[in-house]
Structure 1
Amino acid sequence: MYRRPDANIVAWNSALLYDMIATQPVIYERPRLKSSTTLMIGDKDVTAIGSNSAPSNVSAKLRHYPELGGTAAAAILNAKLAEFPNEQHTPQLQYLEVFHKAFLGTHLNAHSLQ
Protein backbone atom coordinates (compact mmCIF):
# COMPACT_ATOMS: atom_id res chain seq x y z
CA MET A 1 0.00 0.00 0.00
CA TYR A 2 3.01 2.28 0.38
CA ARG A 3 4.24 1.50 -3.14
CA ARG A 4 1.06 2.32 -5.04
CA PRO A 5 0.50 5.54 -6.98
CA ASP A 6 -1.80 6.77 -4.19
CA ALA A 7 0.79 6.11 -1.46
CA ASN A 8 0.69 9.79 -0.48
CA ILE A 9 -2.98 9.39 0.51
CA VAL A 10 -2.13 6.34 2.62
CA ALA A 11 0.71 8.23 4.27
CA TRP A 12 -1.54 11.23 5.00
CA ASN A 13 -4.23 9.01 6.54
CA SER A 14 -1.58 7.27 8.61
CA ALA A 15 -0.29 10.63 9.85
CA LEU A 16 -3.81 11.66 10.85
CA LEU A 17 -4.30 8.37 12.68
CA TYR A 18 -1.05 8.65 14.62
CA ASP A 19 -1.84 12.27 15.51
CA MET A 20 -5.17 11.12 16.93
CA ILE A 21 -3.51 8.29 18.87
CA ALA A 22 -0.92 10.63 20.37
CA THR A 23 -3.08 13.66 21.13
CA GLN A 24 -6.71 12.69 21.63
CA PRO A 25 -8.28 10.49 24.34
CA VAL A 26 -10.81 9.05 21.88
CA ILE A 27 -11.81 6.21 24.20
CA TYR A 28 -14.35 8.57 25.74
CA GLU A 29 -15.86 9.27 22.31
CA ARG A 30 -16.90 5.67 21.56
CA PRO A 31 -20.49 6.04 22.81
CA ARG A 32 -20.95 8.96 20.39
CA LEU A 33 -20.39 6.78 17.31
CA LYS A 34 -23.69 6.30 15.51
CA SER A 35 -22.67 4.66 12.24
CA SER A 36 -22.18 0.94 11.81
CA THR A 37 -18.74 0.07 13.11
CA THR A 38 -16.67 -3.06 12.68
CA LEU A 39 -13.62 -3.48 14.88
CA MET A 40 -11.05 -5.83 13.39
CA ILE A 41 -8.52 -7.12 15.87
CA GLY A 42 -5.62 -9.55 15.68
CA ASP A 43 -5.77 -11.44 18.97
CA LYS A 44 -1.98 -11.91 19.03
CA ASP A 45 -1.31 -8.18 18.67
CA VAL A 46 1.13 -6.85 21.26
CA THR A 47 1.12 -3.25 20.05
CA ALA A 48 0.47 -0.68 22.74
CA ILE A 49 1.63 2.79 21.79
CA GLY A 50 3.11 4.55 24.80
CA SER A 51 3.33 1.39 26.90
CA ASN A 52 7.05 1.87 27.45
CA SER A 53 6.33 5.07 29.38
CA ALA A 54 3.09 3.96 31.07
CA PRO A 55 2.99 3.29 34.81
CA SER A 56 3.19 -0.43 35.61
CA ASN A 57 -0.44 -0.59 36.79
CA VAL A 58 -1.55 0.80 33.41
CA SER A 59 0.93 -1.23 31.38
CA ALA A 60 -0.42 -4.45 32.94
CA LYS A 61 -3.84 -3.71 31.41
CA LEU A 62 -2.48 -3.32 27.88
CA ARG A 63 -2.10 -5.87 25.09
CA HIS A 64 -5.10 -8.01 26.07
CA TYR A 65 -6.77 -7.63 22.69
CA PRO A 66 -9.34 -10.42 22.93
CA GLU A 67 -10.70 -8.83 26.13
CA LEU A 68 -10.21 -5.22 25.05
CA GLY A 69 -11.86 -5.83 21.67
CA GLY A 70 -15.06 -7.09 23.27
CA THR A 71 -15.10 -4.20 25.73
CA ALA A 72 -14.58 -1.66 22.93
CA ALA A 73 -17.28 -3.21 20.73
CA ALA A 74 -19.74 -3.21 23.64
CA ALA A 75 -19.17 0.52 24.12
CA ILE A 76 -20.11 1.35 20.51
CA LEU A 77 -23.73 1.25 19.38
CA ASN A 78 -24.24 -1.33 16.60
CA ALA A 79 -20.59 -2.40 16.63
CA LYS A 80 -19.43 -5.76 15.36
CA LEU A 81 -16.16 -7.39 16.29
CA ALA A 82 -14.15 -9.45 13.81
CA GLU A 83 -11.38 -11.24 15.64
CA PHE A 84 -8.41 -12.80 13.89
CA PRO A 85 -7.31 -15.37 16.49
CA ASN A 86 -3.88 -16.16 15.03
CA GLU A 87 -2.97 -12.73 13.70
CA GLN A 88 -0.99 -9.85 15.05
CA HIS A 89 -1.19 -6.11 14.42
CA THR A 90 -1.76 -6.03 10.67
CA PRO A 91 -4.03 -8.82 9.42
CA GLN A 92 -4.91 -6.48 6.52
CA LEU A 93 -1.33 -6.92 5.32
CA GLN A 94 -0.49 -10.39 6.58
CA TYR A 95 -3.63 -12.20 5.42
CA LEU A 96 -5.27 -9.93 2.90
CA GLU A 97 -7.84 -12.42 1.56
CA VAL A 98 -9.15 -13.34 5.02
CA PHE A 99 -9.20 -9.68 6.03
CA HIS A 100 -11.11 -8.66 2.89
CA LYS A 101 -13.75 -11.34 3.47
CA ALA A 102 -14.37 -9.97 6.95
CA PHE A 103 -14.12 -6.34 5.84
CA LEU A 104 -16.53 -6.76 2.97
CA GLY A 105 -19.03 -8.49 5.21
CA THR A 106 -18.85 -11.98 3.74
CA HIS A 107 -18.24 -13.18 7.29
CA LEU A 108 -17.77 -11.00 10.35
CA ASN A 109 -16.58 -13.94 12.39
CA ALA A 110 -12.99 -14.46 11.31
CA HIS A 111 -12.92 -17.81 13.15
CA SER A 112 -15.02 -19.31 10.34
CA LEU A 113 -12.63 -17.96 7.73
CA GLN A 114 -9.55 -19.84 8.87
Structure 2
Amino acid sequence: MGPDYPLIAWNAALTYDMIFTQPVVYEFENLQMPTLLLIGQRDRTAQGKANAAPEVREKLGNYPALGKETAKKIKNASLVEIDNVGHLPHIEAYERFITPLLQFLRS
Protein backbone atom coordinates (compact mmCIF):
# COMPACT_ATOMS: atom_id res chain seq x y z
CA MET A 1 0.00 0.00 0.00
CA GLY A 2 2.96 2.29 -0.64
CA PRO A 3 3.25 5.21 -3.03
CA ASP A 4 3.93 2.89 -6.00
CA TYR A 5 0.65 1.01 -5.56
CA PRO A 6 -1.11 2.60 -8.59
CA LEU A 7 1.81 1.69 -10.87
CA ILE A 8 2.09 -1.85 -9.51
CA ALA A 9 -1.68 -2.39 -9.76
CA TRP A 10 -1.71 -1.11 -13.36
CA ASN A 11 1.16 -3.40 -14.36
CA ALA A 12 -0.55 -6.38 -12.72
CA ALA A 13 -3.79 -5.55 -14.56
CA LEU A 14 -1.96 -5.40 -17.91
CA THR A 15 -0.21 -8.68 -17.20
CA TYR A 16 -3.41 -10.51 -16.31
CA ASP A 17 -5.23 -8.98 -19.28
CA MET A 18 -2.52 -10.44 -21.52
CA ILE A 19 -2.81 -13.85 -19.85
CA PHE A 20 -6.59 -13.99 -20.22
CA THR A 21 -7.16 -12.29 -23.59
CA GLN A 22 -3.97 -12.32 -25.66
CA PRO A 23 -2.36 -15.73 -25.98
CA VAL A 24 1.22 -15.27 -27.13
CA VAL A 25 1.82 -18.90 -28.06
CA TYR A 26 1.35 -17.95 -31.72
CA GLU A 27 4.16 -15.40 -31.50
CA PHE A 28 6.92 -17.58 -30.00
CA GLU A 29 8.42 -18.23 -33.43
CA ASN A 30 8.99 -14.48 -33.84
CA LEU A 31 11.39 -14.30 -30.90
CA GLN A 32 14.97 -13.85 -32.08
CA MET A 33 16.83 -13.24 -28.83
CA PRO A 34 18.32 -15.98 -26.67
CA THR A 35 15.53 -17.22 -24.41
CA LEU A 36 15.73 -19.29 -21.25
CA LEU A 37 12.76 -21.40 -20.21
CA LEU A 38 12.87 -22.61 -16.60
CA ILE A 39 10.01 -25.08 -16.20
CA GLY A 40 8.95 -26.79 -12.99
CA GLN A 41 8.02 -30.33 -13.99
CA ARG A 42 5.17 -30.54 -11.45
CA ASP A 43 3.54 -27.34 -12.74
CA ARG A 44 -0.02 -27.93 -13.90
CA THR A 45 -1.22 -24.31 -13.62
CA ALA A 46 -3.80 -23.22 -16.20
CA GLN A 47 -6.09 -20.22 -15.90
CA GLY A 48 -9.73 -21.32 -16.13
CA LYS A 49 -8.83 -25.02 -15.86
CA ALA A 50 -11.57 -25.67 -13.30
CA ASN A 51 -14.19 -24.38 -15.76
CA ALA A 52 -13.01 -26.47 -18.72
CA ALA A 53 -14.73 -29.63 -19.89
CA PRO A 54 -13.20 -32.74 -18.27
CA GLU A 55 -11.66 -33.98 -21.52
CA VAL A 56 -9.99 -30.60 -22.03
CA ARG A 57 -9.08 -30.05 -18.37
CA GLU A 58 -6.73 -33.04 -18.22
CA LYS A 59 -4.68 -31.62 -21.12
CA LEU A 60 -4.33 -28.10 -19.70
CA GLY A 61 -1.21 -27.04 -17.84
CA ASN A 62 1.02 -29.95 -18.81
CA TYR A 63 4.19 -27.90 -18.49
CA PRO A 64 6.65 -30.75 -19.10
CA ALA A 65 5.11 -31.12 -22.57
CA LEU A 66 4.46 -27.38 -23.04
CA GLY A 67 8.08 -26.54 -22.17
CA LYS A 68 9.40 -28.88 -24.84
CA GLU A 69 6.91 -27.59 -27.43
CA THR A 70 7.75 -23.98 -26.63
CA ALA A 71 11.50 -24.56 -26.80
CA LYS A 72 11.06 -25.97 -30.31
CA LYS A 73 9.15 -22.86 -31.41
CA ILE A 74 11.72 -20.32 -30.18
CA LYS A 75 14.80 -20.29 -32.38
CA ASN A 76 17.36 -19.50 -29.65
CA ALA A 77 15.66 -21.20 -26.70
CA SER A 78 17.29 -23.15 -23.91
CA LEU A 79 15.06 -25.32 -21.74
CA VAL A 80 15.86 -26.17 -18.13
CA GLU A 81 13.45 -28.71 -16.66
CA ILE A 82 13.40 -28.57 -12.87
CA ASP A 83 12.26 -31.89 -11.43
CA ASN A 84 9.89 -32.09 -8.45
CA VAL A 85 9.08 -28.38 -8.64
CA GLY A 86 5.78 -26.69 -9.46
CA HIS A 87 4.77 -23.23 -10.66
CA LEU A 88 7.21 -21.21 -8.53
CA PRO A 89 10.72 -22.62 -9.05
CA HIS A 90 12.33 -19.37 -7.88
CA ILE A 91 10.68 -19.96 -4.49
CA GLU A 92 10.41 -23.76 -4.31
CA ALA A 93 13.94 -24.55 -5.45
CA TYR A 94 15.89 -21.30 -5.50
CA GLU A 95 19.36 -22.82 -6.05
CA ARG A 96 18.16 -25.01 -8.91
CA PHE A 97 16.49 -21.94 -10.41
CA ILE A 98 19.16 -19.29 -9.90
CA THR A 99 22.15 -21.35 -11.04
CA PRO A 100 20.99 -21.85 -14.65
CA LEU A 101 19.57 -18.33 -14.74
CA LEU A 102 22.92 -16.78 -13.79
CA GLN A 103 24.74 -19.03 -16.27
CA PHE A 104 22.36 -17.91 -19.00
CA LEU A 105 22.76 -14.22 -18.12
CA ARG A 106 26.56 -14.52 -18.09
CA SER A 107 26.75 -16.27 -21.47
What's the TM-score, normalizing by structure 2? 0.79
Aligned length: 102
Aligned to 1:80: 78
1:17–1:88 distance in 2 versus 1, CA, 3 Å: same
How many angstroms apart in 2 are the aligned matches of 1:41 and 1:7?
A: 30
Where do 5+ consecutive residues of structure 2 fail to align? none
SS state at 1:99 partner: helix
- Equivalent residue runs for 1:29-108 within 5 Å: 29-105=27-103
Give a deviation string over 1:6-59, Cα, whole Å, max 9, x none: 888776554433221111021111111111111111000121111122233432
The one-letter code matched in structure 2 to 1:20 is M
Structure 1 unaligned spans of 5+: 1-5, 107-114
More divergent stretch after superposition (7-16 vs 19-28): 7-16
Q: Which deviates further from its counterpart, 54-63 or 26-35?
A: 54-63
Partners of 2:96 and 2:10 lie apart in 1 by 26
